Amino acid sequence: MKIDILTIFPDMFAGPFAESILRRAQDKKLVKIKIHNLRRWAKDRHKTVDDRPFGGGPGMVMRVDIIDKALTALGSGHKILLTPQGKTFNQQAVASLSRKKHLILVAGHYEGFDERVRNLVDEEISIGDYILTGGELAAMVVVDAVVRLIPGVVGEKESVKEESFSRALGGLEYPHYTRPADYKGKKVPEVLLSGDHTAISKWRAEQAKKRTKQRRPDLLR
């Protein structure tokens, strides 16, 4: 997969994309991630990518002409605008995007985008009902979630399979335990130590449903 990200703060991505699973995925050439400074397509002396809004009001607005030039230069990938007004990002969206060959993410800043930018993209995504200082963090979340579903990225296929299964059912994942089996009187459930995989699978399914009902009943609805 190829992922291009348009931003005016390219240095923000250096740390997250150089560590852990994202780093290994790039080293294995399973994904190619490239960060582009949007100012590269600005022609004036100050490399301006925003301007005052028509009609007045606070803040600055990202210019449509600059973004249009950048998207045209990056080719025919699936174009995504990161915005609080977009569709809420979930695991189904992650799975869908993981099957794309080329993603282009546009991370906004300031007061927002010129409305005409929306006509240049394939979809708009929001990672939640809150406001960030810019779309860079949202872009990182989208990339992290999508890349780990690319075949070969996560070492243990069953881990991703079980996560996807729990999300497909509309629920949270079951609880996990590891050593020590008894810590200050808090013991690991006996079924997990039994070696009975049928019983373990049943217990996990029941616990996932119980946890979802307690913590996120909205998912069951």
Contacts of 133 (CB under 8 A, 6+ apart): 109
Contacts of 43 (CB under 8 A, 6+ apart): none
Binding residues: 108, 127-132
Amino acid at 80: I
Binding residues for S-adenosyl-L-methionine: 108, 127-132
For every residue of 9-51, which 3-state class applies, written as one string? CHHHHCCHHHCHHHHHHHHCCCCEEEEEEHHHHCCCCCCCCEE
